[in-house]
């Protein structure tokens, strides 16, 4: 480990002040950052602990929820308002990691957790554009069973590993950010970026900027949602494919459809093409499969991950059928 200093921020402005230093990094639960520091993939010189900052969950005026950035994953998943109004979020969080890790992990840290691509982690022996821009990508022609089928580039084929974020994507959340210039909001769908030529730039967050909260708009009482994660063992494994979906039916047709995929792209993937096909139609497994296939025509398999295309199509179909229930 490389030497670093540690300080605890008392409030957001204190955090911004401390975080403005060169090579400073905010520290949430440390479940990802500290791992990466041990591997020397991350080399901060100053850690600014932000777990003391806002961790409350409150109702907003519009009837949505405002979730403090330092809220622990467990607290989020267990919160009665989250469980009753946004079950998809609660389920997604609980599908991730282990109880111990969820007890430590914060919401902001979860958003900013980095890919599990093993070449990214292997500072000693592998090339990675995300870790060292311009170095090359060993995953592109290497072991890539867990890698992206959507939106990847030749520079990087990694996936975003979060479960929670797939639910946030489908819930149309916004991310509240504080920086030297004040506060701004970013739509969740825009927050994470596709790799393009700059896979090291993973989000729209600027250096020194602090995430302070996530806001969820209200979800109609008639809407039903679900999260499903497919993985290599029963628990404690990252998603090969995951699906979050929200459906609202009105008089036998689909009035609202939102679908997001995890484990398939550099960001939580909103399946806009699938959604477009669903709207206004009568729900049926055939329709769902057609929508899934429409989304996945853009998929580009790598050497080891071609199965993810069929797996994603099946999982989307199953999740939507499940939500639609007897209506489908």
Partner 1 sequence: MRGAATFAAEFAPENMAYAAVVFATIARGRVTALDIAAATGAPGVVLVLTHENAPRLKPMPLFMTAGKAGGGDDLPILQDAEVHYNGQPIALVLAETLEQAEHAASLIEATYEIDEAVTTLEAGKARGTRTGIAFGQPAHVEIGKPEDELATAAHRFEATYTTPRHNHNAIEPHAVTLYWQDGELYMHDAVQAVNHVAWSVGSVFGLGEDKVHVTSPYVGGGFGSKVLWSHQILAAVAAREAGRPVRLSLSREGVYRTVGGRAQTEQRVALGADAQGRLQALQHTGTVIMSAHNALPEPFILSAQSSYATKSMLLDIQVATLDMLANTFMRAPGEAVGSFGLESAMDELAERLGIDPIELRIRNEPEKDPMKGLPFSSRQVVWCWRTAAERFGWDKRQAPGLRREGEWLVGLGCAMAGYPYQRMPGGAAGITLTADGRAQVSVAAHEMGMGTSTVHTQVAADRLALPMDAIEFRYGDNALPGVVLAGGSQQTASVGSAIIVATRELVKELLQLAGNASPLAGLSADEVGTTHGGLASLADPQRYESYASILSRAGRFELSVVGQAPMPGEGMHWSMHSHGAIFVEARVNAVTGEVRVPRLTGAYDCGRILNPKTATSQLRGGIIMGLGAALMEETQVDPRNGRIMNASLSEYHLPVHLDVPDIEVIFSDIPDPVSPMGARGIGEIGITGVSAAVANAVYNATGKRVRDLPITLDKLL
Ligand X SMILES: Cc1cc2nc3c(=O)[nH]c(=O)nc-3n(C[C@H](O)[C@H](O)[C@H](O)COP(=O)(O)OP(=O)(O)OC[C@H]3O[C@@H](n4cnc5c(N)ncnc54)[C@H](O)[C@@H]3O)c2cc1C
Instruction: Give the binding site for partner 1 (CB under 8 A).
Output: 1-3, 40, 116, 118-119, 121-122, 124-126, 138, 141-143, 145, 230-237, 240, 307, 310-311, 314-315, 317-318
Residue 169: both structure tokens together: 């994507």
Quote the least distance from Cβ 114 to ligand SF4, whole Å: 8
Nearer to ligand SF4, 134 or 251 (CB): 134
Residue 305: both structure tokens together: 């991950």
Residue 176 contacts residue 215 (beta carbons within 8 Å): yes
Taking the C-alpha atoms of residue 245 and residue 72, their distance in angstroms, rounded to an integer, is 23
By a kind-dependent CB cut-off of 5 to 8 A, residue 25 interacts, out of partner 1, ligand X, ligand SF4, none, with ligand X
Quote the least distance from Cβ 277 to ligand SF4, whole Å: 30
Termini Cα distance of the chain? 55
Contact footprint for ligand SF4 (CB under 6 A): 115, 117, 119-120, 128-130, 137-139, 156-158, 199
| Interacting residues of 158 by C-beta distance below 8 A, sequence separation 6+ | 115, 117, 120, 130, 139, 147, 148, 152, 195, 199, 266
Residue 243 contacts residue 264 (beta carbons within 8 Å): no
Nearer to ligand X, 51 or 144 (CB): 51
Quote the least distance from Cβ 40 to ligand X, whole Å: 15
Q: Is 169 helix (H, G, I), strand (E, B) or coil?
A: helix
Contact footprint for ligand X (CB under 6 A): 25-33, 35, 50, 69, 96-97, 101, 104-106, 108-110, 112-113, 161-164, 210-211, 238
Nearer to partner 1, 62 or 100 (CB): 100
Tell me which residue has its CB nearest to ligand X: 109
Q: Strands 241-250 and 253-262: what pairing?
A: antiparallel
């Amino acid at each position: 480990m490389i030497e670093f200093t540690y300080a605890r921020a008392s409030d957001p402005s204190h955090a911004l002040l401390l975080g403005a230093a060169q090579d400073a990094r905010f520290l949430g639960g440390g479940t990802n950052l500290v791992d990466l520091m041990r591997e020397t993939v991350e080399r901060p010189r100053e850690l600014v602990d932000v777990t003391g900052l806002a961790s409350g969950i409150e109702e907003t005026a519009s009837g949505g929820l405002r979730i403090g950035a330092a809220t622990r994953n467990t607290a989020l998943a267990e919160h009665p308002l989250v469980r009753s109004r946004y079950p998809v979020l609660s389920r997604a969080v609980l599908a991730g990691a282990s109880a111990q890790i969820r007890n430590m992990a914060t919401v902001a840290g979860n958003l900013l957790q980095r890919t599990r691509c093993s070449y990214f982690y292997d500072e000693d022996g592998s090339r990675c554009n995300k870790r060292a821009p311009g170095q090359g990508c060993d995953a592109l022609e290497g072991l890539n069973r867990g890698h992206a089928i959507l939106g990847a580039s030749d520079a990087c084929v990694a996936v975003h590993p979060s479960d929670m974020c797939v639910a946030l994507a489908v819930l149309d959340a916004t991310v509240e950010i504080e920086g030297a210039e004040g506060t701004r909001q970013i739509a969740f769908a825009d927050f994470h970026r596709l790799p393009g030529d700059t896979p090291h730039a993973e989000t729209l967050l600027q250096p020194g900027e602090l995430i302070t909260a996530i806001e969820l708009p209200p979800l109609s009482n008639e809407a039903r949602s679900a999260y499903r994660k497919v993985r290599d063992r029963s628990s404690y494994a990252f998603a090969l494919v995951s699906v979050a979906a929200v459906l609202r039916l009105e008089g036998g047709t689909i009035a609202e459809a939102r679908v997001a995929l995890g484990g398939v792209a550099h960001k939580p993937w909103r399946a806009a093409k699938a959604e477009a096909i669903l709207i206004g139609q009568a729900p049926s497994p055939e329709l769902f499969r057609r929508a899934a296939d429409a989304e996945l025509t853009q998929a580009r398999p790598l050497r080891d991950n071609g199965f993810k295309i069929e797996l994603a199509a099946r999982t989307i179909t199953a999740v939507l059928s499940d939500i639609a229930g007897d209506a489908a």
